[in-house]
Amino acid sequence: MVKVTFIEFDKTEHSIDAEKDTSLMEVAIQNGVPGIDADCGGACACATCHVYVDQNWVDKTGKAEQMEQDMLDFAFDVTDQSRLSCQIKITDDLDGLIVNLPEKQF
């Protein structure tokens, strides 16, 4: 198990033991973390699972690939820490991962 923490816009924290090889989006949905809509179900096609990766974890989660960058154009208030959580795969390296959620997935 890999521990990941979602921090809502209002600072509410959700620490979850995530299963390896699932996506961070799936972890959020399966555990009822509010603030991740995932309209398209993980197809990298809607930009409603936008998260901000904690600065200390940006290197480990890596950068968004081309398709994800394109999709992030449809998210709001995108920063260098922005990722779509459906494209982050849970691995052992991410044990302790912290991501912040936007005010809303619009």
Partner 1 sequence: MQANRIETDCLIIGAGPVGLFSVFELGLLDIKCDIIDILDKPGGQCAELYPDKPIYDIPGVPEITGEGLVSSLIKQIEPFNPVFHLSRIVTELKKVDDRWEVKTDFGDTFSTKVIVIAAGGGSFQPKKPPIKDIEDYEDFSVFYSIRDKDKFKDKDIVIAGGGDSALDWVLDLHTSAKSLTLVHRRKEFRAVPDTVNKVQELIESGTINFELGQINQLSGENNKLECVSIKNGDQIKDINCQILLPFFGLTMKLGPVADWGLNLNENLIEVDTEKFETNQNAIFAIGDINTYPGKLKLILCGFHEAALMAQQAHSYIYPDKKITFQYTTSSSSLKKKLGVKS
- Cβ nearer to partner 1, comparing 27 with 46: 46
Q: Would you say 2 or 28 has its CB closer to partner 1?
A: 28
Tell me whether residue 1 or residue 67 sits nearer to partner 1 (CB atom). Answer: 67
What's the rounded Cα separation, in Å, for the pair 30 and 52? 19
Termini Cα distance of the chain: 31
Rounded to 10 degrees, what is the CA torsion of 106, 38, 102, 73? Answer: -60
Nearer Cβ to partner 1 (42/96): 42
Residue 69 CB, nearest approach to partner 1 (Å): 7
Could you list the residues that contact partner 1 (CB under 8 A)? 39-40, 43, 45-48, 69-70, 72-78, 103-104, 106
- The least distance separating partner 1 from the CB of residue 44, rounded to whole angstroms, comes to 9
- The candidate with the shortest Cα–Cα distance to 79, out of 87, 89, 69, 88, is 69
Q: How many angstroms separate the CA atoms of 70 and 64, rounded?
A: 9
